[in-house]
A and B are shown apart, each in its own frame.
Chain A
Amino acid sequence: MSLDRIVIVGASLAGLRAAEELRARGYEGGITVVGDEPHRPYDRPPLSKQVLTGTMDPAATALVVASGSIDDLGLEWRLGESATGLELEERSVLLGGGERLGFDGLVIATGASPRRLPGTDHLAGVHTLRTLDDSIAIRDALAAGPQRVAVVGAGVIGAEVAACARSLGIEVSLIEALAVPLERSLGLEMGAVVADLHRAHGVDVHLGVGVVLIEGSDRVERLCLSDGSVLEVDLVVVGIGVSPNTEWLEGSGLTLDNGIVCDATCLAAPGVVAAGDVARWPNERFAEVMRVEHWANAIEMGEHAARTLLGDAQPYTPVPWFWSDQYDRKIQLAGLASSDDIVEVVSGRLEDHRFVAFYGRAGRIVGVLGMNQPAKVMRWRSLVDNASSWADALAVAAASD
């Protein structure tokens, strides 16, 4: 198959890394990048960290390429334009303005959108956090000196927003429907350590409760929780997860099921690949169908999908990796973690909030979690890469700690 016109939908981390890899692999044809925001690709991790606390200029989030200038990639930018449809047979992407962009190769990296709390659209002071503009709006709202911020949802985004607000000296209530923060990411036992971390920093933590009602006339004034408590707040940040951006692909012929369903090589249809938060694929390393919302996956899957598009189709079998910065703690997880796994602390102590824990499943190590232990996490992640037995993994940790 000869490729001469590649369209990348999603001016995102995954989209940019795909473009970079296409060029690195010698593809010299046209690359058009479509993005619905006015911005060139930017880096999201600072949006829930340094940008919120005002310690990083939003302009500094612009992504760069290691090999030189982003302009050297020779990309045609179509920013501020939404893709509204895909015609697989005709090989074209429809844009909001009615234009058709023809392609012979397509990379879909449209990401995901935050879920909103129903019935809050009319209220000022209720935010979600996904885009650069979202982050700037929350930064400004925090800088305006609210009396109390409610963070609804204690996943990675919610926990980081809570930590930022506390570090600015603002009173924070953190509300999570599950039993502990980061339960889906870390499981119950280690999520409890994160709850402890937030309490130690003076956050008012509400676990296992939902939000029944958000009240206010024009602006949010109070939250009613499912346990009957009422919180007076003047700012709410909602972090209750995301939905993959696939609406524009309904009826296109691509298989959609909590994301674009790809094969093991990131291929969604002939000449069409997907990467990042929007893509679901069978990760053969873990015999699991995954959709991974991590920063590192956007990079690695963007690069991998680009190679697949160029004809070098290998199974994409990453060990997922993410990190989260909360207060002065760096949480890093390489691999998988769930409440059903065996968890063993192999270095440090939980109560010091400086430790490494292993997750085990079916006799193998599947995850390495660290809090303020980056060197050990990165050293021991190879145990997950190699699918070491649980006993061998514990022995390695005991010998080198």
Chain B
Amino acid sequence: MRIVVDYDLCESNALCMTAAPEVFEVRDDDFLYVLQDEPAEELRAKVEEAARRCPKQAIVIEG
């Protein structure tokens, strides 16, 4: 599983951070940081939830 964020779409709404804090962090500079590009498989449900919750559909899960 590989995470690709379209930063042209991302608006730092930070919903992903609520769904999968192990993977996504919006910092006080208001930018999104992906903490793990290739998270472990056990995080898949959380990462899919993060992708579904993204108001910009900016998170794509490959593999």
Contacts of B36 in A (CB 8 A): none
Give bound CA distance, A374 to B26, whole Å: 8
B1-17: contact bitstring with A at CB < 8 Å (1 yes, 0 no)? 00000000001111101
Q: Chain B contact residues (Cβ within 8 angstroms of A): what range?
A: 20 to 34
Contact of B26 with A378 in the complex, beta carbons under 8 Å: yes
Check A323/B27 contact, CB under 8 A, given A64-B57, A66-B51, A66-B61: no
CB < 8 Å neighbour of A374 from B14, B53, B61: B14
Contact of A323 with B57 in the complex, beta carbons under 8 Å: no
Check A325/B48 contact, CB under 8 A, given A295-B55, A381-B18: no
Contacts of B51 in A (CB 8 A): 66
| SS class, residues of chain B in contact with chain A | mixed
Contact of B27 with A378 in the complex, beta carbons under 8 Å: no
In the assembled complex, how far is the CB of residue A214 from the closest CB belonging to chain B, in whole angstroms? 34
Q: Chain A contact residues (Cβ within 8 angstroms of B): what range?
A: 20 to 34
Contacts of A43 in B (CB 8 A): 57
A56-88: contact bitstring with B at CB < 8 Å (1 yes, 0 no)? 000000011011000000000000000000000
Contacts of A296 in B (CB 8 A): 15, 53, 55
In the assembled complex, how far is the CB of residue B33 from the closest CB belonging to chain A, in whole angstroms? 10
In the assembled complex, how far is the CB of residue A239 from the closest CB belonging to chain B, in whole angstroms? 20
A369-394: contact bitstring with B at CB < 8 Å (1 yes, 0 no)? 00011111110010000000000000
Residues of A within 8 A of B (CB): 17, 20, 43, 45, 63-64, 66-67, 295-296, 299, 321, 323, 325, 330, 332, 372-378, 381
Beyond A66-B59, A67-B48, A375-B14: 6 further Cβ-contacts under 8 Å?
A: A66-B48, A66-B52, A295-B55, A330-B11, A375-B12, A375-B27
